[in-house]
Amino acid sequence: MSNLTARDVSYTYQTKKRIVKALNGLSYEFVSGKLYAILGKSGSGKTTLLSLLAGLDLPKEGEVLLDGVSTSVCNRDDLRRDRIAVIYQDYNLFPLLTVLENVLYPLKLKKIPTEAARKIAKEKLQAVDLSEDCHKRFPHMLSGGEQQRVAIARALAGSGDIILADEPTGNLDTENGKNIISILMNLAHAENYCIIIVTHDIGITEEADILLRMQDGVLVNCVPGICGSRLL
């Protein structure tokens, strides 16, 4: 069971006109088996928080801990390869690799033998309901929903049990968005993943186990359908 914790985290950055304090002493503990939805207006610090949780950057103050170990003392490349995966709104698939090759990529980084890697990759694609008919296709040959499924399969193949998602349904129609939500919910509840989603999608906010709102650089617990709806 993984435990991802932000402890007194602050983060500032400089724009052309001013210094922005995106996070202001934020503390929160994320645990396995839950799907978290984080809401907030543009510029409220949601994506900054996701980047810090993923180890893409370090807090200016405070710390992010994975199972009690600060990301500041970890090899953060290894962290993202082995423990934490990030899913993006625009999928971030490799355009010149097939579906299967995209999912194989993180397994090759781990130096898993070819046949074993192919078996794992196919299992992960099956887990997101992508048939073998899709395996040899390139990303541009897929629908948006199918591309996001490939991105999730790649995350499953490459990481431990933590998935961070930045607007994963933002480019999808309602039906495909619901399918992606269902997959992520199943990963949290049936596979004990910790799923943390930054979103404006009301479908996710209605399904999330825990709804959070970014306000003044900290996270505030929300009541579904009340504070969430005011920010969508």
Q: Where are the domains of the chain?
A: 36-51+76-231
Q: In what order do the strands lie in the sheet with 84-88?
A: 84-88, 162-166, 194-198, 35-39, 210-215, 218-221
For a pLDDT cut of 70, what percent of the chain falls above it? 95
* 75 contacts: CB under 8 Å, gap ≥ 6: none
pLDDT at residue 114 greater than cutoff 60: yes
Separation of alpha carbons 172 and 90, rounded Å: 10
133-155 mean pLDDT = 95
Q: Decide yes or no: CATH 3.30.70.270 for domain 36-51+76-231.
A: no
pLDDT of residue 17: 83
Separation of alpha carbons 141 and 31, rounded Å: 36
DSSP 5-64: EEEEEEEEEE-SS-EEEEEEEEEEEEETT-EEEEE--TTSSHHHHHHHHTTSS--SEEEE
Cα angle for residues 31, 6, 59 (degrees, 5° grid)? 145
pLDDT per position as a tens digit, 2-44: 799 999 999 998 888 888 899 999 999 999 999 999 998 887 8
152-175 mean pLDDT = 91
131-155 mean pLDDT = 95
Other CB atoms within 10 Å distance of the CB of residue 179: 18
Fill in the DSSP letter of residue 97. S
pLDDT at residue 231 greater than cutoff 90: no
Provide the mean pLDDT of the chain.
Answer: 91
Show the tokens assigned to 177: 């968005």
What confidence category does residue 228 fall into, taking pLDDT thresholds of 50, 70 and 90? very low
pTM comes to: 0.90
Look up tokens 């709102």; give the residue.
213
pLDDT of residue 201: 87
Lowest mean pLDDT among 3-7, 41-45, 108-112, 193-197: 41-45
3-state DSSP call for residue 74? coil
3-state DSSP call for residue 146? helix
DSSP 170-229: TTS-HHHHHHHHHHHHHHHHHS--EEEEE---HHHHHH-SEEEEEETTEEEE--TTTTTG
pLDDT of residue 230: 46
pLDDT at residue 226 greater than cutoff 70: no
45-74 mean pLDDT = 95
What confidence category does residue 229 fall into, taking pLDDT thresholds of 50, 70 and 90? very low
Please tell me which residue, 203 or 192, carries the higher pLDDT value. 192
3-state DSSP call for residue 160? coil
Look up tokens 């950057």; give the residue.
57
What confidence category does residue 232 fall into, taking pLDDT thresholds of 50, 70 and 90? very low
* Strand pairing class (35-39; 210-215): parallel
pLDDT per position as a tens digit, 77-91: 989 888 999 999 899
pLDDT of residue 224: 57
